[in-house]
Amino acid sequence: MKPIHSILILLLAAFPALSQSSAKASSPLDLSGVWSPAGGGRGPGAPAPPQIVLKAGYKEKYDARRAEERQASARGEQLAAAGLCEPYGMPGMMQVAIYPMEIIQRPEQVTIIGEAFSEVRRIYIGKPQLKLDDVDPGYYGHSVGHWDGDTLVADTIGIKPSVRGYQEIPHSEQMHITERIRKTGPTALQDQITIEDPVVLEKPFTYTLSYKFVPNYEMVEFVCENNREYVDANGVVRLKLHDK
Amino acid sequence: MADPHDNPGLGLQKPPRIDTHAPAKYDATITLEDALNTRIAYFAIAGFVLAALPMAAHHSFVMFDTTKQVTLTGTVTSFEWTNPHTYIEIDAAEEGGGVKHWSIELGSPSILRNSGWNHNTLKSGEKISLIINPLKSGMPGGLLLQANLPDGRKLGNGPGRGPEPK
């Protein structure tokens, strides 16, 4: 082989590595990495609060449940919202307190892992959405996505009604979640989430979650193995005490 | 004393506060700063105005008396570095003699690692003192505010809650 060919081969071998490390961090089309909840807040430029309008029947049940919770709280008791080791599912897993999430990106699939409860969802890029009947109702449903410029648009159906809704808002099996996920800067990510539900909601509502990039973070394992809290016969959360 | 609900480091969010009479602004973006403030949401439902929007509560401090602090001094019997909560089991000296066993709840390992804790921080047999919010029920359990370790370190219960590690 001529020496020039050897040199070219060496350069080509080196180049991808060189270009990747500098390009990756700032590419708007690369969402990969670990992101922790951040930003938003109040003040100028803050996203508008969602206006959530429940249909008749659902509003009354919602209010009644909040009233029960308030009364229990006044007695020093917490009513269980869901199973105490139960993961959030969608859309809740997209923000759980200050826990980070990891985005793993391949051209055909974006995988998001939430550190809290080790929740995993997969968005299939370029695939058509399924008919609702063909989706097993679950915590994460079925998500498909496509790129709209620098925005990943994700469409999710098939979340079962028992999975906690956004802010405990009830939902039917027909809940349809649309997300517009995009980087707003080299280390800033936003997920604009729209919830539609023709059964429960008078109209769709939208809220925005913001994240900041966390470099060099190794995700921590989270297996809900030691749930010392339990729900008693009245739906009240109690703490299991040990004798020793 | 700060309301522990205000500390996102515990992985907790505020319980609902309902005001059905006065509309208020709600910022849908849940942030660290937001978690420090009371937030109620604006609802308009079929002509009726407003219900408060509760924070989705994975966990609440309702069972602990956050207005009270108790100091427990004694011997660790076990340190459970687990999810969703870490627990310190302690045999604590009683006033007037004797010992009582307490179960004390902390945040999750991921949260605690950010404020100086790891799986080896405490061992069975170590002598420590703990400042806690006790259970409202009066049973011997509580929520950790601060741990005073044998080596002199004082650790809190997650970022922003209690002493920061040096």
Most confident listed range (A145-149, A235-239, B16-20, B112-116): A145-149
Q: Which single residue is written with the structure tokens 């989705």?
A: B56
Residue A15 phi, psi (nearest 5): -60, -45
Pairing of strands B141-148, B127-134: antiparallel
At position A21, the amino acid (one-letter code) is S
Report how far apart, in Å, the C-alpha atoms of B4 and of each of B15, B60, B67, B156 are. 11, 9, 10, 12
Confidence band, pLDDT 50/70/90 cuts, at residue B21: very low
pLDDT tops 80 at residue B34: no
Beta carbons within 10 angstroms of residue B143's beta carbon:
23
Task: Kindly state the tokens that stand for B63.
Answer: 């069972």
Looking at residue A75, its pLDDT comes to 87
Looking at residue A132, its pLDDT comes to 97
Residue range B72-98, pLDDT digits in tens: 999 999 999 999 999 999 999 998 999
Looking at residue A6, its pLDDT comes to 74
Q: Give the ipTM of the model, two decimals please.
A: 0.79
Task: Tell if the pTM clears 0.90, that is, is over it.
Answer: no
In angstroms, the CA B37 to CA B96 distance is 42
CB contact under 8 A, A78 and B52: no
Looking at residue B6, its pLDDT comes to 41
Q: Report the range of poorest mean pLDDT among A81-85, A180-184, A205-209, A229-233.
A: A81-85
Residue range B37-56, pLDDT digits in tens: 433 333 333 333 233 333 33
CB contact under 8 A, B54 and A73: no
In angstroms, the CA A159 to CA A173 distance is 6
Mutation for testing the A interface, residue in B20, B40, B110 having most A CBs under 10 Å: B110
Beta carbons within 10 angstroms of residue A199's beta carbon:
14
Instruction: Please indicate whether residue B52 or residue A59 has the higher confidence score (pLDDT).
Output: A59
Q: What percent of chain A has pLDDT over 70?
A: 87
Give the 3-state DSSP-derived string for A23-38, with helices as H, strands as E and coil as C.
HHHHCCCCCCEEEEEC
Looking at residue B164, its pLDDT comes to 66
Q: Report the range of poorest mean pLDDT among A60-74, A87-101, A229-243, B62-76.
A: A229-243
Looking at residue B51, its pLDDT comes to 33
Q: What are the structural domain ranges in chain B?
A: 70-155
Beta carbons within 10 angstroms of residue A208's beta carbon:
18
| Nearest by Cα to B72 from B96, B97, B101 | B101
Residue of B nearest to A56 (CA): B46
Chain A partners of B36 at a C-beta cutoff of 8 Å?
none
pLDDT tops 70 at residue B129: yes
- The minimal CB distance from A99 to the residues B11, B62, B137 is found for B11
pLDDT tops 50 at residue A19: no
Q: Establish if B6 touches chain A: CB-CB under 8 angstroms.
A: no
Q: How many residues does chain A have?
A: 244
Looking at residue B15, its pLDDT comes to 39
In angstroms, the CA B116 to CA B112 distance is 7
In angstroms, the CA A196 to CA B118 distance is 43
- Tell me the average pLDDT of chain A: 89
Beta-ladder partners of B88: B79, B104
Looking at residue A227, its pLDDT comes to 79
Q: Report the range of poorest mean pLDDT among A27-36, B91-100, B151-160.
A: B151-160
| Nearest by Cα to B34 from A161, A208, A206, A7 | A208
Burial of B58 (0-12, 13-18, 19+ CB in 10 A): buried
CA angle, residues A83, B122, B91, in degrees to nearest 5 = 80
For residue B136, the SS3 value is: coil
Mutation for testing the A interface, residue in B10, B37, B62, B87 having most A CBs under 10 Å: B62
Residue A12: HSE in the Cβ half-sphere, 13 Å Cα cutoff: 6
- B12/chain A closest Cα distance in angstroms: 6
**Do the Cβ atoms of B140 and B1 come closer than 8 Å?**
no
CA torsion sign, B90 to B108 to B111 to A206? negative
- Tell me the average pLDDT of chain B: 73
The stretch A94-114 carries a mean pLDDT of 96
What is B70-155's CATH number, 3.30.70.1880, 2.40.50.1010, 1.20.1600.10, 3.90.1150.10?
2.40.50.1010
Helical ranges in B37-140 per DSSP H: 109-113
Confidence band, pLDDT 50/70/90 cuts, at residue A1: low
Give the 3-state DSSP-derived string for chain A, with helices as H, strands as E and coil as C.
CCHHHHHHHHHHHHHHHHHHHHHHHHCCCCCCEEEEECCCCCCCCCCCCCCECECCCHHHHHHHHHHHHHHHHHCCCCECCCCCCCCCCCCHHHCCCCCCEEEEEECCEEEEEECHHHEEEEEEECCCCCCHHHCCCECCCEEEEEEECCEEEEEEECECCCCCCHHHCCCCCCCEEEEEEEEEECCEEEEEEEEECCCCECCCEEEEEEEEECCCCCCCCCCECCCCEEECCCCEEEECCCCC
The stretch A115-128 carries a mean pLDDT of 97
Looking at residue A244, its pLDDT comes to 83
